[in-house]
Amino acid sequence: MGLSNNDVFKKIRVAHKLRDDDIIKICKLVNFNLTKSELGAMFRAEDHPKYMECGDQILRNFLNGLIIHLRGPMPPKKKIEPPK
């Protein structure tokens, strides 16, 4: 069986040495609000009663925020005018 979203999230967190506050700031870069309690629930063991599954939307928003965090915001596109 493959990795779950929670496993991917945990591995990225460890690889980039991110703390809870860092992850929350990264999510805010894409206007996605995540609380410390929600974050803690996703990093718990699967058999824990307060465990929460990391959905696709949460992981997608975190990854988009991580791109902005690491590379910076995307520069504006230059408008190309049609030839006359």
pTM of the model: 0.82
Question: Using one digit for the tens of pLDDT, what is the confidence trace for 28-62?
Answer: 999 999 999 999 999 999 999 999 999 999 999 99
Q: Which residues contact 11 (CB under 8 A, 6 or more apart)?
A: 3
Cβ atoms 5, 58 nearer than 8 A: yes
Residue 20 maps to a domain: yes
Residue 27 maps to a domain: yes
Count of structural domains, the chain:
1
Average pLDDT over residues 55-77: 91
Which residues span the domain enclosing 29?
Answer: 5-71
Note the pLDDT of residue 1. Answer: 65
CA distances from 59 to 13, 16, 48, 84 (A): 12, 15, 21, 46
Block residue for tokens 């206007």:
31
Residue 76 maps to a domain: no
Residue 67 maps to a domain: yes
pLDDT higher than threshold 90 for residue 2: no
